[in-house]
Structure 1
Amino acid sequence: MTRQEEEKWADIKDHIEAHHADDVRDMSESFGELTITVRRASILKIIGFLRDDPICKFNQLIDLCGVDYPARARRFDVVYHFLSMAHNTRIRVKCTTDEDAPVMSIVSLFPNADWYERETFDMYGIVFDQHPDLRRILTDYGFEGYPLRKDFPLTGFVEVRYDQERKEVVYEPVTLQQEYRSFDFLSPWEGAKYILPGDEKSEAPK
């Protein structure tokens, strides 16, 4: 990070702390970007400040996603990425939540958050309060579970196929055609019960 970038981030950090010290839990810099972790209840207020404040001007939502840490009491991070065209720089905002506590929707501030929040709900089960249409967006109707949670099985619970006789899509429990293979990590030569000419092992020196 250049000295100019350090001074720029120092000014923005000081500015955020001056206005929202009670709402910000942590701030850190890495790879030329600032990451701030905020209280869940303050997420709408902080993001509105970052968008509208003339010093910040982070007025483009680039991405919104979830991250799962099952070992934590608040297992989910909700991560927002914003771009400031005025400063030609990005900022990352995070808050933590669990399976039950909703996070306030930011669709009122950034309309493009609509589908991002629906995807995060669909994949992780994170609920966004006051979202205008919070329903699944990638999985099918009637899908159970949240595929990007770490405790969701890789095979899923059901598989979908089209039944030619019934002329409809049917859901069936996942059936594996073969058991998982176990490997002994031997090479083909070491695992063979015969010795090819020229492949005889010499005795180890005593």
Structure 2
Amino acid sequence: MLSGILIKTLGIYALARVVFNVFGISVQIGWLLVVLGILSMVAGAFLAIGQGDFKRLLAYSSISQIGYVVLGIGLGGLIIARAGNNISTEELAWASLAILGGLFHLVNHAVYKSLLFLTSGSVQMSTGTRQLKQMGGLAERLPFTRATCTVASASIVGIPPFSGFWSKLILVIAAIQAHFYWVAAIIVFVSL
């Protein structure tokens, strides 16, 4: 479980380092990361919807959640590249906000997805299956697991006042401030 979270975190770090150090901050690279982030968000969400296996559902959800992180980093780079050498304090603040939102979401994802995988292990040990349709009556049998799963799920989905809501809100605010209204709309839509 920890190795999966560590690999994603290091993968995002490596992506940012390689992309921005090797290719530099450019509008094309910014757009590439924004588009990859959006595709990951949408594809992961749609694949998770029809999933009957609890752990596969969480894996597809991870694909979607990492898309938010890539989107935030790409949006920050795009804002900086679009402004060029004449970047204003406001534009720098928007870019910083976008990157902060992406990194904050990475931390949220690491914490809450770890909790969800622990929950899935507990449920699988109790029921002997990972199939969602075969699980019933778990709330009465595993009340603590129900509570932890509810909290972790609410955060990942982005329900206030949990931290997943705040990281997604930061991304929406950064997109709106930088006049990428359609990006903000996609973030909100995929979060639903």
Q: TM-score, normalised by structure 2?
A: 0.25
Select the structure that is richer in helix. 2
Greater RCO structure (CA 8 Å; 6+ sep):
2
Select the structure that is richer in strand. 1
Q: TM-score, normalised by structure 1?
A: 0.23
